[in-house]
Amino acid sequence: MAKATHWLEPHPHGLYVRPADLWIDPSRPVARAAVTHGHADHARSGHEAVFATPETLAIMALRYGIDAAASHNAAMSYGNGFERGGVRFSFHPAGHVLGSAQILMEHAGERIVVTGDYKRRADPTCTPFEVVPCDIFITEATFGLPVFRHPPTAEEIAKLLAAVRAEPDRAVLVGAYALGKAQRVIAELRRAGWDAPIFIHGALERMCALYAEHGVDLGELRLVSDADKAEMAGQIVLAPPSALNDRWSRRLPDPVTAMASGWMRVRQRARQRMVELPLVLSDHADWDELTATIAEVNPQESWITHGSEDGLLRWCELHQRKARALHLVGRDLEEEA
């Protein structure tokens, strides 16, 4: 058994780094938290001190009103870190959303990486995942089952554009999580040559502006609330998933309902949400990315959390890789995937 178990303790509400008296992504308020990224199941409000990338601190400032510049919080850009209680912490890109980081801890001759959420495929809105060599690799497993294989991004974007062109009298309404997915869909549409204004629900406005302030070009965005029904015909509209079947959508011209999520692989989920056009677009590693990443990092041990732990655990066993499942609570996978 690795010595790590003496200094890094998995608790249901987060990972506790005992010598540093610090929690990683705790699901309840603590004195000191290192936060991998801004999604609500990782970044909670109420911590006394937060260590995170500057982008994650900006996102937490936007969502929770924390003072990102306050002296008790510390911004760690990629490759940088700090030392506390004999543990060296550093932050490395995870490729999940703007500012998302893996956290490397070095202590007592051991290197442990906590991935937070991650993906391996290209994303124009964030820095790509970096392989960080380590002894213990603590990986997410949202899509830790072989059934989850995400198609190429360009194929899904092409499907969306084909739907818009096929229905010049209707709007195409895309449900996309407010942090990360919405901006990625917009940036991918721009990359595919869609240069018309994109209409957005008010709930996406501030996060899109934050991305733009951090250098992610989203082109011209217009608020649905400022638009006429007629001008949205033949156009793309983005809204949080919760708005898809809401009264709000009645202000759009006969919308085609789409949703961008890794869960759209599961037909029943698409049907539940009455989604006509499921787009399998995920900010999480799919099965092939998860297994390839474990093989590439090649740790002595993998700790698996945040999703289908058992599927990935089984794969590790079949491939003679030492692994264990951590059972952390409070994960909300549906919305951000």
Q: Where do contacts with Zn ion occur on this chain (CB under 5 A)?
A: 39, 41, 117, 336
SS3 20: helix
Nearest alpha-carbon partner for 190 in 206, 203, 177, 208: 208
Q: Which is nearer to Zn ion, 97 or 270 (CB)?
A: 97
Strand segments, DSSP code E, in 108-252 are 110-114, 136-141, 172-175, 198-200, 221-223, 236-239
**How many CA atoms within 13 Å lie on the side-chain side of 222?**
16
20 CB contacts (<8 Å, ≥6 apart)? Answer: 32, 84, 85, 86, 87, 89
The least CB distance from residue 101 to Zn ion, in Å, is 11
Work out the end-to-end distance of the chain between its first and last CA atoms, rounded to an integer number of angstroms.
33
The least CB distance from residue 307 to Zn ion, in Å, is 8
Q: Which is nearer to Zn ion, 20 or 97 (CB)?
A: 97
The least CB distance from residue 34 to Zn ion, in Å, is 15
Query: Helix H segments across 235-304?
Result: 267-272, 287-297
Separation CA 199–CA 220 (nearest Å) = 9
The least CB distance from residue 115 to Zn ion, in Å, is 10
Rg (Cα) of the chain, in Å, rounded? 20
The least CB distance from residue 261 to Zn ion, in Å, is 12
The least CB distance from residue 180 to Zn ion, in Å, is 7
Q: Which is nearer to Zn ion, 40 or 192 (CB)?
A: 40
The least CB distance from residue 100 to Zn ion, in Å, is 7
Q: Which is nearer to Zn ion, 2 or 40 (CB)?
A: 40
Cα dihedral 176, 149, 264, 215 in deg (nearest 10):
10
Q: Which is nearer to Zn ion, 286 or 336 (CB)?
A: 336
Separation CA 317–CA 323 (nearest Å) = 7
Query: Helix H segments across the chain?
Result: 4-7, 54-64, 153-166, 181-191, 205-213, 267-272, 287-297, 309-318, 333-336
The least CB distance from residue 85 to Zn ion, in Å, is 27
Q: Which is nearer to Zn ion, 42 or 47 (CB)?
A: 42
Q: Report the relative pairing of strands 110-114 and 101-107 from DSSP bridges.
A: antiparallel
Q: Which is nearer to Zn ion, 137 or 248 (CB)?
A: 137
SS3 128: coil
Q: Which is nearer to Zn ion, 34 or 227 (CB)?
A: 34
